[in-house]
């Protein structure tokens, strides 16, 4: 008989007093007002916590007592068994080129800075506030605010880009280093626009706390630290150091008080798997799977019966010899036990796939497909075995690219089709809606210049997307010269720009529901075997009703492409896509990155390509910034027409920008003039 029990270590609907202590036996359960659940634990005994990163130091010199992460030296405000940790993170102040200590390096720990709950915030004006991470110190985010001396003493209206700016950061960051850079060498020496110079500071902060607890964002100048949310997971921990896989009688499953705890009744054996571990008893035959997300799956797997049968058969064989009949009995028992094992394993696999399907948004996808609100073509739900076979078990040699959202592999389906298989990174429930949104949005689109989705797989630990294979990389790689085999000619640049514009015109007005892409950039434009443009990555896109003109959302996008008007108002319109497309036009014209270091400056001063381009046109220096190949192949009339169109797209007032229909018409006319010439 097989029994399945499933419960969460803690449930959102449970009241605090309904939950028993979830620290290890004989270990302290609280430090001051903060509950300390396992895998966290208070030293000095190492048996109370999983390993060093989870050790809590309780400072008894204060009242109430304060808990600290000993390894990271961060004060702990709250620990959630659901996978979040609220800590105090330092504010980085900048004085005359010097800066106070940065946020701690969490590389190699089970902790990540939460993208969902935190916002990067900078209080300054006329400076770029940048965030660097990873080993190569590359810029992963940032923002810039304008100067307004009158707003400094006026009633606070929030951090909306005047003397203060906010933005989100990529997910899965364990190292964050903030930096404040001047917009240009001249501006760094100007005193009139630097009235906030004594108070230049930047920090990562929990968004709700910042909104609800500060009457004025300038109040942070008197604080050493602010609350920040870290995400923790056993799948990020060093699974070889789990105490429960070393000590007997330690595999305990804690639940709500009416469930109590499950004791394995004897010595246990533990085995690790990706994202958790399994504990089982050779005495009772009870096994439990512990997942890093907080799920516990328990069952009887029949090992006790197998041991008893083996022992009995061995006694009979010793007494009666090696008769053929007993040998057949032994083989029959062995086959029976093996068959039972296979059945239980199959049921266990099915159950795990059902859990993954629900956790990965399968029910949400089914609801979207059955709601009738979207004109969605049939989406194929692939089996995990089919995708494993198509990618040679996700072999590293099949990797096409890696990004913040996941890894893309090249695969071949059983019918011979070559596909791109996008395996997402482990995400929280807040990110699953973006994944399902991408599936639904792409399923509505049928356009030659938009990547076509083929289906998805939700029965694996992380969700997987399958879409058509586009062989020739991203437009960004060609603009930056990373692909040397093919250099973009002026004619190719105009054609690619026309194709992108046509796809956006289709999304804005020709699709069944108007769709805002919300993350147009050169790295999201793919080139097929004939170097035709394909718009990709619809994870943050939104479809709207035909009578709507805008979306009101949290700011989401890529630094350098973000519409300033959207950044100030949180209102995303079709003209916000037009602004981002204007930046792509300038990239094609100049060959520069959207954020780049100014050549010839003594320091590494960064500037926005859009701002640099507009300034160059106003100062009649257009041909000083145009790419060398464009200057060689394009006529002055064509280059000026292309540049004027880009300038119109980058107008700071969205109402004055052209629609994508007008942009498409201008580019098509430019193509026709090229052919006639």
pLDDT in tens, 431-472: 666 667 667 777 778 889 998 888 888 888 878 889 899 999
480 and 602 in a single domain? The answer is yes
- Across the range 72-79, mean pLDDT stands at 93
* Residue 76 main-chain phi, psi, to 5 deg: -100, 130
Could you give the C-alpha distances from 452 to 185, 231, 382, 510, 633, in angstroms and in order?
Answer: 46, 34, 16, 17, 34
| 281 confidence band (pLDDT: 50, 70, 90) | low
Q: Which of 519, 563, 577, 627 is catalytic?
A: 519
Confidence (pLDDT) at 96: 55
**Structure confidence at residue 312 (pLDDT):** 42
Average pLDDT over residues 359-388: 70
CB 436 within 8 A of CB 365: yes
Residue 248 pLDDT grade (very low, low, confident, very high; cuts 50, 70, 90): very low
- Shared domain for 508 and 447, answered yes or no, is no
Band of residue 545 on the pLDDT scale cut at 50, 70, 90: very low
Q: Find out whether 545 and 513 touch, Cβ atoms under 8 Å.
A: yes
Give percent of the chain with pLDDT exceeding 70.
Answer: 67
What is the DSSP code (8-state) at residue 474? B
Q: How many CA atoms lie within 13 A of 83 on its CB side?
A: 23
Mean pLDDT of the chain: 75
- 635 and 559 belong to one structural domain: yes
The pLDDT value recorded for residue 191 is 39
Residue that terminates a domain, selected from 208, 232, 256: 232
- Residue 74 sits at φ, ψ, to 5 deg, of -120, 135
Asked if residue 226 and residue 97 are part of one domain, the reply reads yes
- The percent of residues in the chain predicted with pLDDT above 90, rounded, is 26
Higher pLDDT, 231 or 221: 231
What's the confidence (pLDDT) of residue 406?
76
Confidence of residue 542 (pLDDT cuts 50, 70, 90): very low
Query: Who wins on pLDDT, 443 or 12?
Result: 443
Active-site residue flag, 547: no
- Whether residue 68 is predicted with pLDDT greater than 70 in this model: the reply is yes
- For the segment 609-634, the average pLDDT, to the nearest whole number, is 93
pLDDT value of residue 254? 31
Is 196 contained in some domain? Answer: yes
In this structure, of 60-74, 346-360, 424-438, 512-526, the range with the lowest mean pLDDT score is: 424-438
Are residues 93 and 132 located together in one domain of the fold?
yes
**Residue 315 to residue 320: CA distance in whole angstroms:** 9
Q: Which DSSP state fits 551?
A: E
Q: Is the pLDDT of residue 243 over 50?
A: no
Neighbours of 271 (CB within 10 A): 11
> E strands of 427-558, at which residues?
453-457, 464-468, 515-516, 525-527, 533-535, 542-543, 550-552
**603: Cα separation from own chain's centroid:** 32
Of 198-212, 269-283, 303-317, 488-502, which one has max mean pLDDT?
488-502
Are residues 499 and 414 located together in one domain of the fold?
A: no
Distances (CA, A) of 42 to 23, 109, 234, 246, 344: 9, 18, 18, 20, 39
The two structure tokens encoding residue 125: 């004006």
Provide the pLDDT for residue 623.
94
The average pLDDT across 253-260 equals: 28
pLDDT band at 358 (very low <50, low <70, confident <90, very high): confident
Q: Is residue 610 part of a domain?
A: yes
pLDDT of residue 170: 84
Question: What are the phi and psi torsion angles at 100 (to 5°)?
Answer: -80, 175
Q: Of residues 19 and 535, which shows the higher confidence score?
A: 535
pLDDT of residue 51: 76
List Cβ neighbours of 271 (8 Å cut-off, separation of 6 or more): 245, 277, 278
Domain boundary pick from 468, 497, 512: 468
On whether both 9 and 108 belong to a single domain, the answer is no
Looking at the 3D structure of the chain, how many domains does it have? 5
Tokens of 204: 């990562």
Q: Which is more confidently placed, 331 or 404?
A: 331
Reading the block at residue 583, the tokens are: 């930046």
431 belongs to a structural domain: yes
Same domain membership, residue 354 and residue 374: no
Please indicate, yes or no, whether residues 427 and 500 belong to a single structural domain of this protein.
no
CATH number at residue 408: 3.30.200.20
Contacts of 510 (CB under 8 A, 6+ apart): none
Spatial separation of the C-alpha atoms in residues 502 and 472, rounded to whole Å: 20
CA separation for the pair 465, 437 (Å, rounded): 12
* pLDDT value, residue 342: 78
Least confident among 66-75, 143-152, 246-255: 246-255
Task: Answer for the pair 253, 296: CB distance below 8 angstroms, yes or no.
Answer: yes
Residue 214 lies in a domain: yes
pLDDT of residue 196: 45
Using pLDDT thresholds of 50, 70 and 90, give the confidence band for residue 19: very low
590, 503: one domain: yes
Check residue 407 and give its pLDDT. Answer: 85
**289 and 257 belong to one structural domain:** yes
Which of 232, 254, 282 delimits the end of a domain? 232
Indicate the pLDDT class of residue 296, thresholds 50, 70 and 90. low
Q: Which of 185, 138, 235, 173 is nearest to 461 (CA)?
A: 235
126 found inside a domain: yes
In a domain, 24, yes or no: no
What's the pLDDT score for residue 635? 93
Rounded CA-CA distance 167/148 in Å is 20
Residue 25 included in any domain? no
Taking alpha carbons only, the member of 477, 415, 423, 475 closest to residue 449 is 475
Q: Where are the alpha helices (DSSP H) in 444-489?
A: 475-479
Average pLDDT of 365-375? 60
Same domain, 651 and 502: yes
Is residue 450 assigned to a domain?
A: yes
Residue 309, SS3 per DSSP: helix
CB contact at 8 A, 451 and 442? yes
Its pTM stands at 0.49
Mean pLDDT throughout 5-34? 57
Whether 374 shows a pLDDT value over 80: the answer reads: no
Q: Is residue 178 pLDDT above 70, yes or no?
A: yes
Q: Find the domain containing 375 and state its range.
A: 366-468
pLDDT tens by residue, 560-583 = 888 888 777 778 788 989 999 999
């Amino acid at each position: 008989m097989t029994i399945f029990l499933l419960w969460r270590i803690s449930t959102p609907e449970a009241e605090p007093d309904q939950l028993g202590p979830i620290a290890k036996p004989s270990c302290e359960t609280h430090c001051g007002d903060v509950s300390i659940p396992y895998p966290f634990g208070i030293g000095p005994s190492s048996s109370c916590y999983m390993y060093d990163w989870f050790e809590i130091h309780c400072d008894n010199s204060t009242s109430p007592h304060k808990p600290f992460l000993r390894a990271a030296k961060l004060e702990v405000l709250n620990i959630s068994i659901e996978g979040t940790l609220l800590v105090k993170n330092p504010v980085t102040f900048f004085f005359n080129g010097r800066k106070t200590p940065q946020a701690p390096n969490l590389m190699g720990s089970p902790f990540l800075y939460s993208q969902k709950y935190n916002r990067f915030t900078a209080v300054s004006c006329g400076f770029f506030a940048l965030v660097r991470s990873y080993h190569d110190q590359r810029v992963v985010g940032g923002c810039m605010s304008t100067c307004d001396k009158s707003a400094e003493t006026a009633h606070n209206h929030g951090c909306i880009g005047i003397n203060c700016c906010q933005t989100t950061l990529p997910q899965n960051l364990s190292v964050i280093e903030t930096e404040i850079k001047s917009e240009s060498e001249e501006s760094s020496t100007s005193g009139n626009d630097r009235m906030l110079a004594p108070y230049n500071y930047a920090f990562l902060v929990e968004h709700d706390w910042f909104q609800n607890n500060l009457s004025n964002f300038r109040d942070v100048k008197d604080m050493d630290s602010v609350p920040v949310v870290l995400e923790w997971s056993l799948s990020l921990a060093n699974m070889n150091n789990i105490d429960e896989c070393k000590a007997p009688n330690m595999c305990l499953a804690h639940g709500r008080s009416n469930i109590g705890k499950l004791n394995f009744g004897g010595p246990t054996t533990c085995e690790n798997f990706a994202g958790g571990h399994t504990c089982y008893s050779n005495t009772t035959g009870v096994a439990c799977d512990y997942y890093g997300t907080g799920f516990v799956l328990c069952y009887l797997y029949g090992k006790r019966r197998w041991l008893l049968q083996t022992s009995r058969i061995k006694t009979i064989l010793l007494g009666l010899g090696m008769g053929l009949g007993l040998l057949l009995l032994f083989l029959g028992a062995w086959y029976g036990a093996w068959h039972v094992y296979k059945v239980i394993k199959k049921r266990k696999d099915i159950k795990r796939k059902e859990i993954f399907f629900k956790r990965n948004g399968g029910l949400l996808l089914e609801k979207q497909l059955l709601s009738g609100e979207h004109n969605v073509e049939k989406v194929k739900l692939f089996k995990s075995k089919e995708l494993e076979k198509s990618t040679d078990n996700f072999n590293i040699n099949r990797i096409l690219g890696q990004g913040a959202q996941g890894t893309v592999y090249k695969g071949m389906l059983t019918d011979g089709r070559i596909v791109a298989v996008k395996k997402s990174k482990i995400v929280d429930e807040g990110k699953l809606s973006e994944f399902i949104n991408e599936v639904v949005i792409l399923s509505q689109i049928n356009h030659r210049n938009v990547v076509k989705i083929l289906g998805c797989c939700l029965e694996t630990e992380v969700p997987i997307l399958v879409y058509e294979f586009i062989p020739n990389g991203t437009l960004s790689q060609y603009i930056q010269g990373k692909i040397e085999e093919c250099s973009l000619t002026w004619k190719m640049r105009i054609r690619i720009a026309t194709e992108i514009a046509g796809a956006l015109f289709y999304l804005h007005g020709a699709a069944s529901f108007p769709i805002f892409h919300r993350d147009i950039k050169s790295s999201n434009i793919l080139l097929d075997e004939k170097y035709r443009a394909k718009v990709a990555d619809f994870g943050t896109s939104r479809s709207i009703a035909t009578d709507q003109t805008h979306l009101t959302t949290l700011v989401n996008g890529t630094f350098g492409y973000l519409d300033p008007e959207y950044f100030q108002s949180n209102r995303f319109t079709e003209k916000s896509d037009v602004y981002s497309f204007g930046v792509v036009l300038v990239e094609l014209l100049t060959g520069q990155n959207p954020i780049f270091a100014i050549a010839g400056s003594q320091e590494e001063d960064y500037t926005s390509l859009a701002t640099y381009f507009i300034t160059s046109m106003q100062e009649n220096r257009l041909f000083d910034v145009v790419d060398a190949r464009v200057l060689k192949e394009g006529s002055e009339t064509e280059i000026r027409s292309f540049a004027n169109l880009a300038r119109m797209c980058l107008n700071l007032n969205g109402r004055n920008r052209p629609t994508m229909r007008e942009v498409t018409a201008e580019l098509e006319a430019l193509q026709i003039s090229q052919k006639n010439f």
